[in-house]
Amino acid sequence: MTPLGQILAARIAATGPITLAEYMAECLLHPAHGYYATRDPLGASGDFITAPEISQMFGELIGLSLAQAWLDQGAPAPITLAELGPGRGTLMVDVLRATRGVPGFHAALRLHLVEASPTLRAAQAETLAGQAPTWHDSVDTLPEDAPLLLVANEFFDALPIRQFQRDGDGWRERHVGLDGTTLTLGLGPAAPRPELAARLEDTTDGDIVETCPAAAPITSAIAQRIATQGGAALIIDYGDWTSLGDTFQALRAHEPTDPFAAPGEADLTAHVDFAALAAAAAPARHSRVTPQGVFLERLGITPRARALAARGDADAIAAQHRRLTHPDEMGTLFKVLGLYPDGATPPPGLEP
């Protein structure tokens, strides 16, 4: 058992089972032993690889979409350019490089990063040296007095989820308990759950549904700023309109692993329920949930790939293009949701 596993086992022995959300939060963000708190998990030598780490084209096209949204809204200044969970800062570097030629954009922007991990904050400080970012622990302290352009790639999938198993017209919560000294999943007592009333329509006995308690307040905080000050947000993650079933997963060294085997040592994620984000988007507007491959093709990833291929390793660029857009790779599983103010058009690549 890992040190964090021992801490959690002692707590469960003393006070009883914990929710999956509590388990996930401790595993990812425990200050001494949490997964994100203690390492840089990205890249070939880490546990998983993300779109910006696959190709510069991803961040470039996101940058151009956000800059065009800014132009379409009259190029206000100053503006907040924000990212949630920036990882190594790679996406933001590509955003900034691609938008260098947009007149007035760089002069107008103030860079704000929401990042929980001290290790990754240090990596971001290095990658973005010269940009003088301001770091935040949560979206709540993002400026409220300027338009907000925001991107979040693979951020919402890291937020803690709860799971409920249907039992008649009630629900039993899945808990993390103890079997001897081993952490194990158990079920709480059946209880009515008014917040899951709509899920009685699309589930049957024994089905599992997931909720992500932090997702709606975060979306709402972003939407409030965009609705009152202007701007746009691009939220990119894997998931679907609504999630059904157990999507909780652990990755270690690019391989799926048991999420309870080594607490703090594996990346834990769950699919994002885009319907829940869309429901929290008022008073801002939200776009259609759009497959990543469609979004990137609309923004011109194919001509961009051709231009890069003409200058360098054409096979590598073709492989990157395929990974980001092909339905068998990230093209369909990953989705994009845009937020924008009433009266504006969605950021390019998305439809109302």
Interface region with ligand SAH, contact rule CB under 6 A, candidates 114-122, 199-207, 302-310, 342-350? 114-122
Q: Structure tokens of 160? A: 């803690």
Question: Is 180 exposed, middle or buried (CB count within 10 Å of its CB: 0-12, 13-18, 19+)?
Answer: exposed
With CB under 6 A as the contact rule, the residue among 5, 17, 63, 86 that binds ligand SAH is 86
Return the C-alpha torsion angle 74, 232, 136, 134, nearest 10.
Answer: -30
| Rounded Cα distance, 38 and 22, in Å | 18
Residue 219 binds ligand SAH (CB under 6 A): no
Sole binder of ligand SAH in the list 79, 91, 276, 330 (CB under 6 A): 91
- Of 18-37, binders to ligand SAH (CB under 6 A) are 28, 36
Cβ proximity to ligand SAH, 20 vs 108, nearer residue: 20
330 makes contact with ligand SAH (CB under 6 A)? no
Nearer to ligand SAH, 116 or 146 (CB): 116
Asked if 215 and 273 touch (Cβ cutoff 8 Å), the reply is yes
Q: Indicate whether 150 belongs to the interface with ligand SAH (CB under 6 A).
A: no
Token pair recorded at residue 199: 């899920």
Among 26, 47, 53, 237, binds ligand SAH (CB under 6 A): 53
With tokens 């391989």, the residue in question is 255
Q: Which residue has the tokens 């961040």?
A: 59
Q: What's the closest the beta carbon of residue 285 comes to ligand SAH, in angstroms?
A: 24
Q: Which two tokens stand for residue 142?
A: 């993002």
Question: In one letter, which amino acid is 52?
Answer: P
Stretch that binds ligand SAH, among 108-116, 185-193, 227-235, 271-279 (CB under 6 A): 108-116
Number of residues this chain uses to bind ligand SAH (CB under 6 A): 19
Distance of CA 157 to the CA centre of its chain: 5
Q: Rounded to whole angstroms, how far apart are CA atoms 193 and 164?
A: 9
Residues that bind ligand SAH (CB under 6 A): 28, 36, 42, 50, 52-53, 85-87, 91, 114-117, 120, 153-155, 158
